Structure formats: structure tokens, C-alpha cells
Amino acid sequence: MSDANRVLIFDTTLRDGEQSPGATMSHAEKLEIANLLDEMGVDIIEAGFPIASEGDFAAVSEIARQTKGATVCGLARANIADIDRCWEAVKHAKSPRIHTFIGTSPLHRQIPNLTMDEMADRIHETVTHARNLCDNVQWSPMDATRTEWDYLCRVIEIAIKAGATTINIPDTVGYTAPRESASLISRLIETVPGAGDVVFATHCHNDLGMATANSLAAVEAGARQIECTINGLGERAGNTALEEVVMAMKTRHDIMPFTTGVDTRKIMHISRRVAAVSGFAVQPNKAIVGKNAFAHESGIHQDGMLKNPENFEIMRPEDVGLAATNLVMGKHSGRAALRSKLNELGYELADNQLADVFVRFKELADRKKEVFDDDLVALMRDASNDPAAEHLKLKFLRVVCGTQAPQSADITLTVGGVDQQATAQGDGPVDATFNAVKALYPHGARLQLYQVHAVTEGTDAQATVTVRMEEDGVLATGEAADTDTVVASAKAYVTALNRLRVRKEKLGGKDTREVSYKDAG
């Protein structure tokens, strides 16, 4: 296979993906996801927007230091201060990249209030400055798909002459269609002087549900970098989903003879981790990573699958890191079996970690007839809460609910190492529980999201609860699983409050939204 057919995977989960309202990740979570992306084999990790906040700068800088294989990229607006701050963060990487952008469409030119000529001068100045700092510079004309053709060609030529090595073409608002996406890329490569010396990239949003199709069409037309996120996370309807474009090229290699460096067997694990840390659950019918992607309920389908899986599956579950068979664990399973199963699911545990998880597993197995793969994933999510954020701990909970009696919750919390008890009423058991927590730990945080979904089927299924809290611009998400939905709700609520407390302390009370900016796609 020629190198000309090698497609670079540029993952922006930690930058564009994190811009989804409520998807803010902690420092430790960003480092974890960056490490998983690096291990999976993505080519470029866009680690964040360094000038946005001290927290973002610290995360990008640490990711740059720890990443072993991937290029580490930071985002910068078209001004010198942004670019300098970006370089300070990424310069520690083995392979650093500066990604600078400006909106070039008529609508976006109005934001900085620049004329066409003034913007052209700004592009030349800032790309030149970035290239003087770093050999690897990416430039994006934001809202490229709604930019006048002649002007788009003009500014791309300026960026190339100023030293940009990658030209990204963002469909910022998900406006284009596959035929247009392909045409735009091919025309730019044919028309713009110097286009043959740079890599063209595509960055598509999913507002009309065509992000994957638009990205693949751009690749067929000559783009050799796809900007994407895990689970399609991103603003509004999201970005191109990494798992979709990678598996599309792998599965339909007959008509799309392109290769990537991604180890697809790691897709399912990182999908689950991104869902957990972002608080954005994957919809069951989501392509590749959805719960139902490899499930078959129809009798005709089941019969066909038993005779030959290829009747109804165009991909093997193992290819995306999903166990081909679901080995059911139970209360008689031992540590060796648990370790083996967790290894299959992508978790490698030290002996002390396994000992802790094994205790939790046995407790769960005593309450459930069967413990499935998804139960173990939920168990691992529940066990991965930041131990540094345990100011509050749930010790005891009893609720009273029904059609006649008032809904009430009797709760005991460990607050800063001291057990405290309270009873409160509310509009239902969950509301009563949250009111009881607030009585013991007064706060001004606002509940932004409360979400429940069953991990597996059956009346003894675990419920995974996601809670998102906001106070003074600081966001925190908590997630917990339990066979009792109210207990899971209390655990998630307490976890969110713990994380909110830690983040506010680190910020010294500052609002996290220190910089107002538009994304580069």
C-alpha cells in the first residue's frame, strides 16, 4: 500500500469534544484519555486550547510531556499572544504542533471586524510567527465551506507561503454535503499554488448527520487527515466520529483503499472511558460502539447469525475490542477469572487494584444472578473515582416512598472524616436524597443533568446514574452504578460535589470560562 493512501487521524476529543456543554474533564481524566489515544495509535492529539485557562494550559503541557508516539497539538487564535501561549504548552512534546485559525466566511469576518485585506495580512503575520516557533503548523479557515471560493483560495495560498504544513478545511456548522465536500478538496488541491506540498485535512460537524460521509468523501478527493473525536463528541450534534471513519475504511477497503495507524481493538475501551469521564452516554444504536451495534433480537436475524455471523455482521466484534462471546461471571468466579475478563475488556490492574475491585465484584455478584461484561465496565467506572476527591462519602441511606407516605430520605454522610446524619423530604426518593445531602453539605451548585440508564437487562440490573453540577461557571460530573437506583443517584451526586469542590479550590474561586472563543471547526 502506497504512503499516498495513508490517512492521518487527528483526534480532538480533548479540545473540540470537551467544548460540548457539560463535557468538561478533570486534569487527571484528560491525561488518561490522552494516554489511551496515544496507545491506540492516533497520529495527532489536539490536547486543548492553552490560553483558555491555567487548567487547560497545564493539561496540554503535561500531555505534551507524557505522550510517547503521537504529535501533540494545541489550538491558538490568530494572534501572537495565543500562539506564544500554545507554543509554551506544546514545546515539550517529542513532536509538537501549533494549530492556528481564523473565521474566513462573510459571517465570521464580522466577528473580528476585519476587511478581506486586513484578515489576509493577519493570516500572513500569525502563521509566519507560528512557523518561526515550530516546524509543524496547521492552519484553519474557520467556516471554510461558507467562504467565497476566490477568497478561500487566496488565504490558503497565503498560509502555505507563510509556512503552514497542514491546511485544515472545517465544515464548522455541518452545512456541506458529501459531493460538495469532495469537490471542494479536489478543487483546492488543483487550484492553490503550493497545495501539493502540504497535507489537506477535513474537519466536519454532524449538524445534518453527514459528518462521517463528508470526511470520507474528502479523503477520496485527496485529503489525508481526518479530524474527529471519540463517540463523535463535540459541540451541538458533534464531530466526525473516529470509530466510524476508521472502521469504514477498514471494512470497505475494497472501495476506500486507505490505511490508518489506529489499533481498532482498543476502540470499545476508549469509547467507554470517554463516555464515563464526559458524562455523555453512548446511544444504544450508535454505529460501531453502541450497545446494540452487535446485538440481534429478531428471530430471523438470530437464526442467520447462528448459521453464519457474516449474514448480519459486516465487522467482527473482536475488531473493535468487544468480546466475541459474553462469559458470564458470578459469585463463584475467582480472582483469576476476574482478571482475565477485565483484561479482555481493556483493564490491566495491579494486584492491589484487583483486590479492591474483587471485593466490589463479590458484593455485586451477591446481589445479581449474573454479572455481565457491561456490569464489570460499570464497576470499573465506579471504582475509578478520584480518591483525592473524597471529602464526602456515602455511608448509609434509607428512603421511604410510595403513593401515600411522604417521600423521605435518612442519610449518613462522612464529611471531612466525621459522620453526620440528616433526614429530608422531597418530590420523590431521589429529590429527598439530594435534599438530605444538601442539608449536611450546604452548597449553591445547580443540578444541570440527571440521567439514568440500565447497564443490563432484568429487574436486578445495575443502574448507572450520571449527575452534572455547576457553580460559578465550574462544572463537575459524577457517575455511579448500583442495583439500587437511589443509591447510585446518591453516589453520583456526592461524587459530583467532591469533584466540584476540588476544581473550585484549584481555580481559587475563578470562573472557568476565562476566555470567550470560537472553535476551529
DSSP string over 93-142: SSSEEEEEEEE-SHHHHTTTT--HHHHHHHHHHHHHHHHHH-S-EEEEEE
Which residues on neighbouring strands pair with residue 397, listed in sequence order? Answer: 411
Closest to 5 (Cα-Cα) out of 245, 178, 220: 220
| CB count in 10 Å sphere of residue 265 | 14
Q: How far is it, in rounded angstroms, from Cα 289 to Cα 247?
A: 11
Q: Known binder of ligand: residue 117? A: no
Q: How far is it, in rounded angstroms, from Cα 169 to Cα 204?
A: 8
Residues 6+ apart with CB under 8 A from 91: 64, 133, 134
Q: How far is it, in rounded angstroms, from Cα 341 to Cα 353?
A: 15
Residue pair 357/377 in contact (Cβ under 8 Å)? The answer is no
Residue 92: all three cell numbers together = 515539550
Q: How far is it, in rounded angstroms, from Cα 98 to Cα 87?
A: 7
Q: What is the DSSP letter of 77?
A: E
Closest to 241 (Cα-Cα) out of 218, 220, 215: 215
Q: How far is it, in rounded angstroms, from Cα 437 to Cα 399?
A: 13
DSSP string over 143-162: TGGGS-HHHHHHHHHHHHHH
| 111: amino acid identity, one letter | I
Q: Known binder of ligand: residue 143? A: no
Residue 97: how many CA atoms within 13 Å on its side-chain side? Answer: 22
Residues 6+ apart with CB under 8 A from 113: none
Q: For the CA atoms of the chain, what is the radius of gyration?
A: 25
Q: Known binder of ligand: residue 16? A: yes
Q: Known binder of ligand: residue 239? A: yes
For the chain, helix (H) and strand (E) counts, in that order, are 16, 14
Report the 3 state secondary structure along 449-478: EEEEEECCCCCCCCEEEEEEEEECCEEEEE
- The residue assigned the cell 449553591 is 444
Output the known binding site: 16, 203, 205, 239
Annotated binding site for Mn(2+): 16, 203, 205, 239
